[in-house]
Amino acid sequence: MTQAPSWQSLPLFEQTARWFERAHAALLGELPCRQGCSHCCVGIFPVTVLDQQVIQLGLSTLSDSHRNRIVETAAAQITDLTAAVPQLLTNRFVDHWSEQECEQVIDQCSTWPCPALESDGGCAIYQFRPLVCRSMGIPSEDDDHVNGTCAVQTSIPLIRLSKALREEEDRLAVLEADELEALRHQQGEEGEEMLLPFAFILAASSQAISA
């Protein structure tokens, strides 16, 4: 009988999802993250070229009409983004933006839903969601403070994650960095991070939309 693979041998995206499950359980239900809650699915944010690969794979599993509807939403958002930020016309990557520049654009688009957000609050590509979506909701720790990550979190959990879970979180971050470096080297990408709508459009297509 073949033994099931351990979590250490699973791909990065699945490992991150399983880390969230264990971290969520360790916080004893303090988090409000539940099926149908889509607060963190509204507003744009940076995702990586790794995320783009997974998103594109997820889109390929949908019917043509469903996929086209999502892509059209992303394309419309890109049109508005490039009109407001012309530098995105020639370079979709935001790696070298200052934190202030990035936050300013994110604030301007705070009401934009993710292109994959469904009317019932579900995600059209849930099994292929970005890494940040797989870990969103777990509070971060800064010295003696535990910081909530979502406005829906009306109280900050007093329970801290174990050292082992935080060490695993750090290990996943290193693994992501290594995979990003390898992908950039393989594909000759100019950067690693782009704003969310660009991940739903292949690079050549987004240039055509911007033009």
Q: What is the pTM for the complete model shown? A: 0.84
Nearest C-alpha neighbor of 114 from the set 136, 140, 133, 101: 133
**Contacts of range 161-165, beta carbons closer than 8 Å, 24 or more positions apart:** 161/23, 161/26, 161/27, 162/26, 165/19, 165/22, 165/23, 165/26
Interior CA angle at 117 toward 198 and 46, to 5°? 35
As a whole number of angstroms, the distance between CA 176 and CA 194 comes to 16
The pLDDT score that the predictor gives to residue 3 is: 47
The pLDDT score that the predictor gives to residue 52 is: 96
- Interval 164-171 mean pLDDT: 95
Question: CB within 8 A of 85, min separation 6: which ones?
Answer: 105
Nearest C-alpha neighbor of 19 from the set 121, 158, 170: 170
As a whole number of angstroms, the distance between CA 176 and CA 84 comes to 31
The pLDDT score that the predictor gives to residue 35 is: 73
Pick the more confident residue, 74 or 34.
Answer: 74
Mean pLDDT value across the chain: 86
pLDDT in tens, 90-111: 999 999 999 999 999 999 999 9
114 confidence band (pLDDT: 50, 70, 90): very high
- Interval 29-38 mean pLDDT: 73
Token duo for residue 37: 């809650």
Q: Which residue has the tokens 């699973």?
A: 10
